[in-house]
Amino acid sequence: MDLTGKTALVAGASSGIGKACAEALIERGARVALLARRGDVVDNIVDQLGENALAIRCDVSDERSVSAAVSRAWSELDGLDFAIHAAGIITPARIEDLTPEIWRRHIDVNLSGAFYVMRDCGLRMREQGRGSIVTIGSDLSFKGLECYAHYCASKAGLAGLTKAFALELAPVVRVNCVCPGPVDTPMMDSELVWFGGTKEARDGFISNTPLKRFASPAEIANFIVFVAAEASFATGSILSTDGGTTAR
């Protein structure tokens, strides 16, 4: 897939799937704006990726921060062909420990952050006459799980938000949601710490995945880039790449 001459924005590009998406896009020739709250981290990534990468500090939970970041990316890249929202957090909590602060933080980042990025990019793309947006959901967009009520709600909401945006931005802009299962990322590492951080905890996640392994960030990113750039008749789709966790 040759994306030379194409431009993209990736929110949540400092690690995990977002970082892998930025790398995959640049490997294919695209110029990419990497948005992340941790400016020093994304600066280092951009130094490694070279001249086709642009670092922009952005807190996706802050509407004004997103608006400024999208405006800068749009100006410096002369428009956007693709936008990928990969920013997300996950902190397991039993319902007796699920404080309003934990709840709000997950909704603010995982759902409201996606809305801000999708709205700012989508409206601009519709006006320019082309564009493709991909959000990153989860296998928990489709099912519940103990200790994840807040995360499940944010990701199920993201699936609905994606469908609604797809209808409103059609036929000019495509909007789809890719839903991974367990992926070997720093976010997964933080989950395992909550469950004890042991090999047994990791093995437990793997044993519940029909393919009996975690995905790599790169293989999820490759699918996301395909959906963004090549799946030309897909919009409003909620696409599982979960190793079979939702097949049961």
What are the φ and ψ backbone dihedral angles of 63, each rounded to 5 degrees? -55, -45
Token code pair at residue 65: 């921060």
What are the tens digits of pLDDT across the range 63-118?
A: 999 999 999 999 999 999 999 999 999 999 999 999 999 999 999 999 999 999 99
Q: CB-based contacts of 163: which residues, under 8 Å, 6+ apart? A: 236, 238
Distance between CA 155 and CA 22 in Å, rounded?
A: 22
Can you tell me the mean pLDDT for 129-143? 96
User: Residues 80, 1, 86, 138: is their CA dihedral positive or negative?
Assistant: positive
Rounded to 10°, the helix 16-27/217-229 angle is: 60
Q: Given the residues 148, 151, 214, 223, select the one marked as catalytic.
A: 151
CATH code of domain 7-178+222-241: 3.40.50.720
Q: Where are the domains of the chain?
A: 7-178+222-241
pLDDT digits (tens, 9 = 90+) for 153-205: 999 999 999 999 999 999 999 999 999 999 998 888 877 877 777 788 888 88
pLDDT tens-digit series, residues 96-109: 999 999 999 999 99
pLDDT value at residue 199: 81
> Could you read off the pLDDT of 27-48 as tens digits, one per residue?
999 999 999 998 889 999 999 9
CA dist 127 and 80 (Å) reads 11
Residue 192: predicted pLDDT: 80
What pTM was computed for the model? 0.94
N-terminal to C-terminal alpha carbon distance within the chain = 33
Asked if residue 43 lies in contact with residue 21, where contact means CB atoms within 8 angstroms, the answer is: no
Active site residue 116: no
When pLDDT is cut at 50, 70 and 90, the band that residue 10 belongs to is: very high
